Chains A and B, each alone.
Chain A
């Protein structure tokens, strides 16, 4: 391929990058996709995903009931606390109601919500086999359509002149093209960058030193950093991220879904000082799991300990690592390295404060505490039945929200002006919609919607108009 002939470069190899590459290629543009990872690790964080939050006005194949635009928007508004862009959010929401036939055409199969995820059956369409199967399908389709794919090709520099994209650099190699889509993910895998963003806390700790990365080790944020240096407009707080409390024994990278521990609402959480620090029963776990990563990050030593008793066994998704199991609470405190007296005082105070009514994990039941701070407002039952289990939890970063500011054409901005030929999609621009917080499957909604828009617009900027050019955009 002669460089001057190349229409579109797509930086990245995950869902958003593949959606962009497929749309640009479908429009007739020549496309080169540059994936930083080797082939066996391709797909970025998308390989760990499992579903797409999708708007629908009536039951559809794998989706039950209805999930109209307004309900989706209200959910997003709630989790972000209003730090979102309504225009872009609604664009992604509407797009999520239209994109699934296209996904299916490119080999993505859907399945009903998995066992243990019935609460998502009306909002999230699950990928059969999960995100890696989706990534495999898109790569197969891309290669069949003639998208050129290169692995082990981390872009470290993006050349921009007066807001126009010119070329990328992969090490010493320079590749020019008429347009570019940046879909290279967040910067969460660059521990040094996270360390700098989080800084030192009042205890003199560097909290990011204790973070685990749930996703790919290849999201180093090099294209983002390069564009920031070139003056691209950014959005979002570098310390905001999709952050979950995960098993402290999880690997540093790519622990994915199975390292989560889903029993917080069935027990209590204490910090290193053996003190409780937040209402474990505030809301259903699926609505709260993405809160606890940040809560743990703010605790001393960035560690939390989830404690349950025998009553909770069999009531939550089995975690990948077995918990510390003991016959007495004192033993549990010792095995977890907590101060035994303080721990027992906390548990005893909690147990004494429990007003047990009718326990029901399916509803916000009436089991609650009285007279302690913080309270546990639902599912509060004394921790009193051996054996006892303890799980140490650390903050697990899924992806960071600091990214590139875009408009509804997914165009990257310089000094408030949209670039004519540089676009962004996926985690690198998710911060436009997600100022903070998270709700399951919305990362894939944003990636798919803006991936498709970015690919279409990038192709259009080279004179190739996709037949499905978005009326809404």
Chain B
């Protein structure tokens, strides 16, 4: 193993110009040096073609490649130098470990980056705080109206403006925090200007989860070396469910302020249809992802981050479950309580957005755009017969 240690030191030395590598970063550099001499996995995803454009792996390269990795597992099962070999290559795991550093280092404000490291605690506290906030608010604001059937009139419990301001501020904060983080990530190694073509490709790759297709369309690995599209599909349910819920809220906000149509809306109205479809997606998607997460091959990804993955999935699932409960019993006396619980969960989701698993989508999209720009530029290397 001496040569591997020498290799690691060499990789560290190469990167010294841009700051010393952490242990996890040096591990990615070590593995990339092996992969770059092999390249068998080039067809699976964008990570390996991006790697092949480089001879050395410095800090910024490592964070870029780590966030380009979708943790599909295909390269791990195909690897001739895997964990049983003395080279001990496990690219999805090494990349996952570095991604946690990306999220942490680029968090805004920086001091909150630690929340990624202790994400179980962060999600628990945010949930407790969200629930407490709305339960207390409901007592203060609604008082005796709690427990009364109010024919679905949410605003009898919480005035519309209060909700709009609270969620508006929290959402804006989440967007700002993630926006600052990802723009710093982007600037660290700007690949050049994004053309319309590159942007369109990156958007397509992000929205279709192109790199969960395995390159051959059969998908990624979950509990074994067999390929499946399950994760890609459950992720689509989750993401598009989330977006439909978001659309439902946006439409309802428009209705409220533009047309002065106030909730509750009919079951056949646009906000309720969008919200119900979205909610369905947010039930099926996270449930499926949770099941896959629990059954994944033990060598996949970073076991230390599973609490963060599952915490986020659980919040999404709780959002849709409490949302449906509210819809079903909105005319009953339980409405006030159900509303407070639902809003508390949603608040926790929004609060932890810039400090939890949600960040992966933002940084991954940025990495995909970098790749779409980079791959249109001529390679600096001329390796033999190419």
Find residues 44-94 in chain B having any chain A CB closer than 8 Å to their own CB.
Answer: 44, 49, 52, 55, 74-75, 77-81, 84-87
Check A316 against B34 for contact (C-beta < 8 Å): no
Are B38 and A256 interface neighbours, CB within 8 A? yes
Given A47-B80, A318-B55, is A129 in contact with B40 using a C-beta cutoff of 8 Å? yes
Contact B225–A140 (Cβ < 8 Å)? yes
A242 at the interface (CB under 8 A from B): no
Interface presence of B380 (CB below 8 A): yes
| Chain A residues within an 8 Å CB radius of B39 | 114-116, 317
The residues in A between 237 and 262 inclusive whose CB is less than 8 angstroms from any CB of B are 249, 251, 254, 256-260, 262
B162 at the A interface (CB under 8 A):
no
Per-residue CB contact flags for chain B residues 240-263 toward chain A (1 = under 8 Å, else 0) read: 000000000000000000000000
Given A48-B80, A130-B78, A133-B77, also A314-B37 (CB < 8 A):
no
Instruction: Name A112's closest neighbour in chain B (CB-CB).
Output: B43
| Alpha-carbon separation in the docked complex, A127 to B80 (Å) | 13
How far in angstroms is the closest Cβ of chain B from A308?
A: 13
Q: Which of B7, B49, B52, B225 has the most CB of A within 10 A?
A: B225
Nearest-CB residue, chain B, relative to A115 = B52
- Determine which of A136, A140, A316, A320 lies in contact with B384 in the assembled complex, contact meaning CB atoms within 8 Å: A316
Total chain A interface residues with beta-carbon distance under 8 A:
48
Q: Does A358 contact B (CB under 8 A)?
A: no
Which residues of A from 112 to 132 have beta carbons under 8 Å from B?
112, 114-119, 126-132
> Judging by beta carbons under 8 Å apart, are B75 and A129 in contact?
yes
Interface residues of A in 258-300 (CB under 8 A from B): 258-260, 262, 284-286
By a CB distance below 8 angstroms, the chain A residues around B38 are 130, 256-258, 320
Chain A residue numbers with a CB within 8 Å of B40 are 50, 114, 127, 129-133, 257
Question: Closest approach, in angstroms, between the C-beta of A149 and any C-beta of chain B?
Answer: 14
A41 at the interface (CB under 8 A from B): yes
B377 within 8 Å of A (CB atoms): no
Determine whether A111 belongs to the interface, using a CB cutoff of 8 Å to chain B: yes
Residues 78 to 135 of chain B near chain A (Cβ within 8 Å): 78-81, 84-87
With A140-B225, A256-B81 in contact, do A314 and B43 touch (Cβ < 8 Å)?
no
Q: How far is the CB of B247 from chain A (nearest CB, A)?
A: 38
User: Which of A41, A119, A256, A362 has the largest number of chain B CB atoms within 10 A?
Assistant: A256
**Given known contacts A128-B215, A128-B216, A317 and B383 CB-to-CB distance under 8 angstroms:** yes
Asked if B44 and A129 sit within 8 Å, CB to CB, the answer is yes
Q: Please encode chain B, from 359 to 379, with 1 for each CB lying within 8 Å of some chain A CB and 0 for all others.
A: 000000000000000000000
The answer to whether A361 and B384 touch across the interface, beta carbons within 8 angstroms, is: yes
B84–A118 CB distance below 8 A: no
Nearest CB on B from A319, distance (A): 6
Report yes or no: A132 in contact with B381, Cβ–Cβ below 8 A: no
Which residues of the partner chain B approach A114 to less than 8 Å between Cβ atoms? 39-40, 42
B218 contacts chain A at the CB level, 8 A cutoff: yes
> Is A321 positioned at the interface, with any CB of B under 8 Å from its CB?
yes
Q: Which of A48, A314, A320, A321 contacts B383 (CB 8 A)?
A: A314
User: Considering the complex, which residues of chain B in the window 180-205 have a beta carbon less than 8 Å from any beta carbon of chain A?
Assistant: none
Given the complex, which residues of A lie within 8 Å of B81, measured CB to CB?
Answer: 256, 258
A124 shortest CB reach to chain B, Å: 12
Closest to A109 in B: B216
A128 touches B37 (CB 8 A): no
State whether B37 touches A130 (Cβ < 8 A).
Answer: no
| Inter-subunit contact B3/A319 (CB<8 Å) | no
Q: Closest residue of chain A to B226, judged by CB? A: A140
User: Are A115 and B42 CB-contacts (below 8 A) given A129-B74, A140-B226?
Assistant: yes
- Looking at B10, B55, B74, B381, the one whose CB has the most chain A CB atoms below 10 A away is B381
Q: Give complex CA distance A47, B215 in Å.
A: 20
B385, A362: Cβ atoms under 8 Å?
Answer: yes
User: B34, B40, B74 — which one has the most chain A CB atoms within 10 A of its CB?
Assistant: B40
The residues of A that contact B74 with a CB separation of less than 8 Å are 129, 133
B80 and A256 contacting across the interface, CB-CB below 8 Å = yes
Cα separation A128 to B78 with both chains bound (whole Å):
9
Please give the distance in Å from A62's CB to the nearest CB on chain B.
9
Known: A115-B39, A129-B41, A133-B78. A322 touches B382 (CB 8 A): no
Taking the closest CB of chain B, its distance from the CB of A65, in whole angstroms, is 15
Q: What is the minimal beta-carbon distance from A127 to any residue of chain B, in angstroms?
A: 8
**Interface SS of chain A:** loop
Q: How far is the CA of A117 from the CA of B216 in the complex (A)?
A: 20
Q: Which residues of A contact B43 (CB under 8 A)?
A: 109, 111-112, 126, 128-129
Q: How far is B218's CA from A40's CA once the two chains are assembled, in angstroms?
A: 23
Q: Considering only CB atoms, which chain A residue lies closest to B2 in the complex?
A: A249
Interface residue? A315 (CB, 8 A): yes
Are B80 and A254 neighbours in the complex by a CB distance under 8 Å?
A: yes
Closest residue of chain A to B49, judged by CB?
A115
Residue B322 at the chain A interface, CB threshold 8 Å: no
Q: Collect the chain B residues with CB atoms within 8 Å of residue A133's CB.
A: 40, 74, 77-78
Question: Which residues of the partner chain A approach B77 to less than 8 Å between Cβ atoms?
Answer: 129, 132-133, 136
Contacts of B218 in A (CB 8 A): 109
Whether B42 pairs with A111 at a CB distance below 8 angstroms is yes
Whether B7 pairs with A115 at a CB distance below 8 angstroms is no
Asked if B78 and A262 make an inter-chain contact with CB atoms under 8 angstroms apart, the answer reads: no
A116 touches B384 (CB 8 A): yes
Instruction: Provide the residues of chain B in CB contact with A249, threshold 8 Å.
Output: 3
Residues of the B chain whose Cβ atoms lie less than 8 Å from the Cβ of A41: 84
A118 to B40, CA, bound (A): 14
Q: Which residue of B lies closest to A39 (CB)?
A: B84
Given contacts A40-B84, A115-B49, A128-B216, contact A318 B226 (CB under 8 A): no
Please report the C-alpha to C-alpha distance between residue A285 and residue B385 in the assembled complex, in whole angstroms.
Answer: 9
Q: Which residues of A contact B3 (CB under 8 A)?
A: 249, 321
Contact across chains for B10 and A314 when beta carbons are under 8 A apart: no
A262 to B75 alpha-carbon distance, docked (Å)? 24
Among residues of A, the one whose C-beta sits closest to the C-beta of B4 is: A321
Known: A50-B40, A322-B7. A117 touches B78 (CB 8 A): no
**Contact: A115 with B383, CB < 8 Å?**
yes
Does B36 make an interface contact (CB < 8 A)?
yes
Residues of chain B within 8 A of A284, CB atoms compared: 385
- Tell whether, in the assembled complex, residue B382 and residue A129 are in contact, meaning their CB atoms are under 8 Å apart: no
Question: Do residues B383 and A316 form an inter-chain contact, with CB atoms below 8 A?
Answer: yes
A19 to chain B, nearest CB (A): 19
In this complex, which of B33, B383, B385 has the most chain A Cβ atoms within 10 angstroms of its Cβ?
B385
Within 8 Å by CB of B37, from A50, A119, A317, lies A317
A87 to B55 CA separation, bound complex (whole angstroms) = 45
Q: Are A315 and B78 in contact, CB atoms less than 8 angstroms apart?
A: no
Residues of B contacting A111 in the complex (Cβ-Cβ under 8 angstroms):
42-43, 215
**Residues of B5-37 whose CB lies within 8 A of A:** 6-7, 10, 33-34, 36-37
Residue of A nearest to B74 (CB): A129
A-contacting residues of B (Cβ < 8 Å)?
A: 3, 6-7, 10, 33-34, 36-44, 49, 52, 55, 74-75, 77-81, 84-87, 215-216, 218, 225-226, 380-386
Contacts from A to B (Cβ < 8 Å): 40-41, 47-48, 50, 109, 111-112, 114-119, 126-133, 136, 140, 249, 251, 254, 256-260, 262, 284-286, 313-322, 361-362
Given contacts A318-B33, A318-B55, A320-B7, 6 further A-B contacts (CB under 8 A): A109-B218, A116-B384, A140-B226, A256-B81, A317-B39, A319-B37
21 A–B contacts from the bound complex (CB under 8 Å): A109-B216, A111-B42, A114-B39, A115-B42, A115-B49, A115-B52, A116-B386, A118-B385, A128-B44, A129-B75, A133-B77, A140-B226, A254-B85, A257-B38, A258-B34, A315-B381, A315-B383, A316-B383, A318-B36, A318-B37, A322-B6
